[in-house]
Structure 1
Amino acid sequence: MEYLDFELPIKDLQEQYTKACKIGEDSAVDVSDTCKQIEKKLKETKKEIYKNLTAWQRVQLSRHPNRPYTLDYIKALCGNSFLELHGDRNVADDKAMVGGLGKIDGQSFMIVGQQKGYNTKTRQYRNFGMASPEGYRKALRLMKSAEKFNLPVLTFIDTPGAYPGLEAEERGQGEAIARNILEMTRLKVPIIVVVIGEGASGGALGIGVGDKVMMLENSWYSVISPENCSSILWRSWDHKEQAAEALKLTAKDAKRLKVIDSIIKEPLGGAHSNREEMYKTLSKVISESFQELKNLSPKDLVETRMEKYLNMGVFKS
């Protein structure tokens, strides 16, 4: 298990607890009371740390190397029913954007999401979760297929942004994202969006328009990452913590600003600390969201969705 800087007190207590239990196992000394005391202290410390997280600490948790990625959720929620579909039928198959058909609680979904890698090799293979134009065009192709067969769309957002390379711009990165936003606003089937990790810039918006938009408790959603914001304003990454606070990028901020509809609670310590619990929670939330949307007519879906986004950022003086 890897620990972040602010989690070091938890690491120390966990090591003490492990050592104490091992002493009890390897000798005749009764250390049960000591183990109980350390365990109690460990639980209290966890609650104290995770209930007072700063915006930057939540950004760190969203990037935790043990955190589940899109394909982890798909495998857990769909089992063997998931059929991955490839290619944009134009240029290539973008490995940073995955998608296909899968069943969750007996209901078929067209599932699309950004996928990061687990190590150096797979991170390069997945381009660090940064999709190119063909990735967004693949996503749109799958969503249009879902509309044709009257299937709900489920998207998982987890990206540091769309790929900013020269070749991506040459192939129309901006147009591809803008086209997706336009087409998703008028898609005639339910769209459920879940931010599972990082939700940065247009890279997130390219698959982020939905009837129900939700964020995991320790994910973030913003026009720019804290590091890049800091480098623009202060010409240095040293002010990333300050930038994270100013950007209002946490799930609570997004809910308060009505950018999202709801927050999905994570297990204590983050989604990676108890994956099975996280999978069960997410499956339940997705099923409940679909039940709320499934009886709406295509016309009502589109009208409600458009009204929702037109009202964002509107205020009365």
Structure 2
Amino acid sequence: MSHFLEFEKPIAELEGKVEELRRATYAGSIDLAEEVGKLQDKAQKLLAATYAKLTPWQKAQVARHPERPKALDYIASLIDGFVPLAGDRAFGDDAAVIGGLGRFRGRAVAVLGTEKGRDTETRVKHNFGMAKPEGYRKARRIIELAGRFGLPVLSFVDTSGAFPGIEAEARGQAEAIARSIEAGLEAPVPFIATIIGEGGSGGAIALAAADRVLMLEHAIYSVISPEGCASILWRDAAMAPTAAEALKLTAEDLKKLGLIDTVVAEPLGGAHRSPAEAMLSVSRAIWAALEPLLEQDGATLRIRRREKFLDMGRSGIA
């Protein structure tokens, strides 16, 4: 671990002491194996206790952790023979939205994802995961392509929201998002969306109008960020923790409200502590959601998907 969140500082101190004792043991000056074991056990218990009672605001911080697996990580791990497809055939290519074809557990699929980037260079390249209209039009193109060739669609969502710049508005941002949602709802093939980090506003729903919406345990999914909500309601971003509580943006809350279908458990301490384990859990959850849908015809999928989202409104949830 190279980055600890503010609430993880006590854990960081213990793990730092463990590492110091290990180095002393390796140096051969003294056998501290027993002390190391005790401290490790204490650190694990503290980690478990801390993550068992995370507040919504703390979960938002975990969802944004810089070392958390990104969309490209999931694609590299879960999708064999991935072939990226570029461009919306109207304006250009948007690196914030990754799309292409590949194989998931031996089955041909279409893949979409919002990519935030991992360091300064890649974050700038992918515009911090904030897509422009051409990104959503690319998503729509790939979903429609999947429909024509009978390919299930898998999406990995991790975005703070659509890019709010003037040029995006000039090129029809709202229309592009709406058309991407429409394509998802109308797709005659199974569609599984997974919220892997941050699911922000229409920028997230554009890639998540799916038959089944999965969500990692410490991910968040909301119409607006806690900071944005706090700035609007209280004109004070410092009220973000209060806003996070009110927004009901955690996986646990959203599952209770019926807005997502499955909560995918993360490794102890979050997906960033054991990316391989987290991605394996996601793979299993996707397959469990996808397999029953493969037996349904396109017309049935469309009807049930439409009813799924209409029911959210009928019950007064959304």
Question: Would you call these one fold, judging by a TM-score over 0.5?
Answer: yes
Determine the structure 2 residue equivalent to 1:212: 212
Which amino acid letter does the alignment assign opposite residue 134 of structure 2? E
User: What SS does structure 2 have at the residue aligned with 1:60?
Assistant: helix
Percent identical residues: 45
Q: Give the distance between the partners of 1:149 and 1:54, measured in 2 at CA.
A: 44
Q: What residue is the counterpart of 1:53 in the other structure?
A: 54
User: Which runs of structure 2 are paired with 1:1-317 in the superposition (5 Å)?
Assistant: 1-79=2-80, 81-315=81-315
- Distance in 2 (CA, whole Å) between partners of 1:188 and 1:311 is 20
Q: Which runs of 5+ in 1 are unaligned?
A: none
Letter in 2 for 1:18: E
3-state SS of paired residue (1:311): helix
Q: Matches of 1:113 and 1:125 in 2, distance apart?
A: 15
Q: Partner of 2:313: helix, strand, or coil?
A: coil
Give 1:52's aligned amino acid: K
Whole-Å separation in 2 of the counterparts to 1:57 and 1:274: 19
* Stretch deviating more after TM superposition (116-125 or 38-47): 116-125
CA distance in 2, matches of 1:163, 1:29: 56
In structure 1, C-alpha distance between the alignment counterparts of 2:91 and 2:293, rounded to whole Å: 34
Give TM-score, length-normalised by structure 1: 0.97
Cα displacement (A) at 1:28: 4.4
**Matching residue's letter, 1:60:** Q
Deviation at 1:123, TM superposition (A): 1.3
- Contact 2:143–2:183 at 8 Å: present in 1 too? no
Q: Distance in 1 between matches of 2:181 and 2:23?
A: 56
Shift, 1:280, TM fit: 1.2
**After superposition, what is the alpha-carbon deviation per residue over 1:79-125, rounded to whole angstroms, capped at 9, x for unaligned?**
4x100000000000001111001111101110001111222222111
CA-to-aligned-CA distance 1:230-262 (integer Å, 9 cap, x gap): 000111101000000000000011101100001
Q: SS of 2:214's equivalent?
A: strand
Distance 1:25 1:167 in 2: 57
CA distance in 2, matches of 1:243, 1:158: 20
Aligned length, in residue pairs: 315
- Distance, in Å, in 2 between the alignment partners of 1:308 and 1:287 is 20
Q: TM-score, normalised by structure 2?
A: 0.97
Counterpart of 2:13 in structure 1: which amino acid?
A: D
Moved segments of 4+, more than 2 Å: 27-30, 313-316
Q: Matched residues in 2 for 1:95 and 1:270: separation?
A: 27
Q: Which amino acid aligns with 1:82?
A: F
Q: Deviations over 1:160-184 (max 9, x none)?
A: 1101111111111001111121221
Q: Counterpart amino acid of 2:288? A: E
Q: Distance in 2 between matches of 1:30 and 1:159?
A: 48
Structure 2 CA distance for aligned equivalents of residues 147 and 226 of structure 1: 36
CA distance in structure 2 between the aligned counterparts of 1:90 and 1:142, rounded to whole angstroms: 14
Alpha-carbon displacement from aligned partner over 1:149-206 (angstroms, at most 9, x marks no partner): 0000011111111011111111110011111212211210000000001111111111
Structure 1 vs Structure 2 CA RMSD: 1.1
Helix, strand or coil: the match of 2:312?
A: coil
Cα distance in 2, alignment partners of residues 263 and 143 from structure 1: 24
Superposed displacement of residue 30, structure 1: 2.4
Q: Distance in 2 between matches of 1:22 and 1:213?
A: 45
Output the CA distance in 2 between the equivalents of 1:252 and 1:118: 27
